[in-house]
């Protein structure tokens, strides 16, 4: 029989960094997704407020045009100020 020598098996450290990297990547995906969701949500809120103000101002302008056709801009400014909103 030939002389056989046992070679100790070296510990495999390759699996540990891959798992840690995958976990870090997963966490970063959640963070980036949350930031994008907040950014998109806040933009949608801002856009809906903008549209609502635009439609309200358009309604006020039409009403002032019917009531006071000669001084529409003055009427619009007065109604907006009385409602508590500053346009400019």
Angle at 45 between CA 41 and CA 49, to 5 degrees: 170
pLDDT of 14-64, one tens digit each? 555 666 667 788 888 999 999 999 999 999 999 999 999 999 999 999 999
Which secondary-structure segment (H or E) carries 61?
A: helix 15-67
Q: What is the pLDDT of residue 18?
A: 61
Model-level pTM?
0.58
């Amino acid at each position: 029989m030939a002389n056989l020598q046992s070679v100790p098996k070296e510990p495999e450290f390759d699996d540990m960094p891959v798992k840690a990297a995958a976990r870090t990547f997963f966490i970063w995906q959640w963070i980036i997704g949350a930031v994008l969701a907040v950014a998109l949500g806040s933009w949608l809120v801002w856009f809906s407020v903008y549209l609502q103000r635009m439609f309200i101002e358009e309604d006020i302008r039409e009403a002032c045009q019917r009531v006071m056709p000669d001084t529409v801009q003055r009427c619009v400014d007065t109604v907006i100020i009385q409602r508590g909103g500053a346009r400019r």
